[in-house]
Amino acid sequence: TGGARLSRNLHKSKKLENVCYDIRGPVLEEAQRLEEEGFRVTKLNIGNPAPFGFDAPDELVHDVILNLRAAQGYVDSKGIFAARKAVMQHYQARGMLDVQVEDIYIGNGVSELIVMTMQALLNDGDEVLIPAPDYPLWTAAVNLAGGTPVHYRCDEQSDWNPDLKDIRSKITDRTRALVIINPNNPTGAVYPRSVIEELHDIAAEKGLLVLADEIYDKILYDDNEHVSIATYCRDIPCITLNGLSKAYRAAGFRAGWMVLSGRVSMMRDYREGLDILSNMRLCSNAPAQFAIQAALGGYQSINDLILPGGRLREQRDVAWQLISDIPGLTAVKPKGALYLFPKIDTKRFNITDDRQFVYDLLVAKKILLVQGTGFNWPEPDHFRIVFLPDREDLRQAIHEIGDFLSSYRQL
Ligand code: PLP
């Protein structure tokens, strides 16, 4: 009988039924298989700056090395004091004067904190408004926590800004929170102040918790201004998330933070939930926490990359121009972040399955993209491309994409 039990399949939990994270999904597995066969795959699928020669600022690395001994043991479950104080001062200087050290939680990247915010908040069936397209971890985290993600549309015709009417129409008695990703992954949108004000007004009218994912807040092009919704949320609770992975090019450190602000008195009970969850993981990776103060207080070298002549800015321009030149593709020029989200003329290529399209491109050209539906976009007519490779590699890859499309028709 022991043998019979052993031969039975081990099934994954039902909790994972709707949990999906396609950025690292089956197409990536095929890419890894091709690499094992000896092919060189151009990976335009993940926003990880370091492998493309974008090094973290030296002082971050130095501070981690210098403090390795101090980081041997567990630290405070919400994070080391110096890091939390640096985060507090950073937001106070941006006008969020009431933020205190207790309002700050350090996590193993924003990813862990996203999961925590949802696990602490949701009962089965509670709804969370999430943009479509989205950074799909938000949707996955809501599903994992037993909640229901409700996607509001962002409008490609209007610079991918959120469709405010659509948000209003989707609010129900069960809506608990409104997620805002600004600057946006995957669209590159940066929301104007007027849109931020309206998003605040909607959340305030309905008493929603605002969750603001601002991990790209310093990656802005063409004088676009970033407006933190937290600066408007005095009357409602707000959580702002950010970290070292993008602007500080230290994604592997796994360091992020979240800041509770606005009407924190409404968050007393919720905060207890967050504390339980952060205690349960004991603490986040300690060495990386020593980089946070150096990052926020030091020279903001990201500016050299995004200003005219800067590498990221030039790559954004090249990628956008070359993609726009391909017959059958159009793209809104990104105002921020590291991605383009081009629209495919699906009729022209007879595309009905965007994952198949991405798979076919991979097999034919050894170029890896992510399909739009992987970002919870409802139609199979987009893909995301990362513009982190240098200009020549981008030119080459986008030329190959054009070449592939010139004869592609899906069966
Ligand atoms: N939020 C957004 C919008 C992202 O694009 C990413 C990573 O791509 C993350 C969060 C996760 O970042 P972290 O490395 O801090 O977990």
pLDDT for 175-196, tens place per residue?
Answer: 999 999 999 999 999 999 999 9
Q: What confidence tens digit (pLDDT) does each residue in 17-52 have?
A: 888 877 667 788 999 999 999 999 999 999 999 999
Q: What confidence tens digit (pLDDT) does each residue in 318-353 have?
A: 999 999 999 999 999 999 999 999 999 999 999 999
Question: 278 CB less than 6 Å from ligand 1?
Answer: no
Judge whether residue 6 has pLDDT over 70: no
The atom of ligand 1 lying closest to the CA of 245 is 14
Question: 22 CB less than 6 Å from ligand 1?
Answer: no
SS3 210: strand
- Give the separation between CA 379 and CA 354, rounded to whole angstroms: 8
Question: 183 CB less than 6 Å from ligand 1?
Answer: no
- Write the DSSP assignment of 339-401 as a string of letters: EE-PEE-HHHHT-S-HHHHHHHHHHHH-EE-EEGGGGT-SSS-BEEEE--S-HHHHHHHHHHH
Question: 181 CB less than 6 Å from ligand 1?
Answer: yes
Q: What confidence tens digit (pLDDT) does each residue in 220-276 have?
A: 999 999 999 999 999 999 999 999 999 999 999 999 999 999 999 999 999 999 999
Determine the residue type at 327: P
What are the structure tokens assigned to 70, written together?
A: 């101090």
Determine the residue type at 168: R
Judge whether residue 86 has pLDDT over 70: yes
SS3 148: strand
- Give the separation between CA 273 and CA 389, rounded to whole angstroms: 41
Look at the block and give the residue holding tokens 């335009």: 44
Nearest protein CA to atom 10 of ligand 1, as residue: 110
ipTM over 0.95: yes
| Global pTM value | 0.96
Q: Name 236's bridge partners.
A: none
Share of the chain above pLDDT 70, in %: 98
Question: 159 CB less than 6 Å from ligand 1?
Answer: no
The atom of ligand 1 lying closest to the CA of 181 is 3
First to last CA, the chain: 49
Spacing, Cα 47 to ligand 1 middle (Å): 8
Question: 211 CB less than 6 Å from ligand 1?
Answer: no
Ligand 1, pocket-test mutation among 23, 54, 111, most atoms within 8 A of CB? 111
pLDDT of residue 148: 98
Spacing, Cα 61 to ligand 1 middle (Å): 20
Judge whether residue 213 has pLDDT over 70: yes
Domains of the chain: 2-54+304-406 (3.90.1150.10), 58-297 (3.40.640.10)
The atom of ligand 1 lying closest to the CA of 113 is 16
Determine the residue type at 85: K
**Mean pLDDT score across all residues of the chain:** 96
pLDDT of residue 247: 98
Q: How far is CA 254 from CA 83, 249, 287, 317, 347, in A?
A: 14, 11, 10, 29, 42
pLDDT of residue 385: 98
**Mean pLDDT, residues 371-397 taken together:** 97
- Give the separation between CA 230 and CA 406, rounded to whole angstroms: 46
Phi, psi of 177 (to 5 degrees): -150, 155
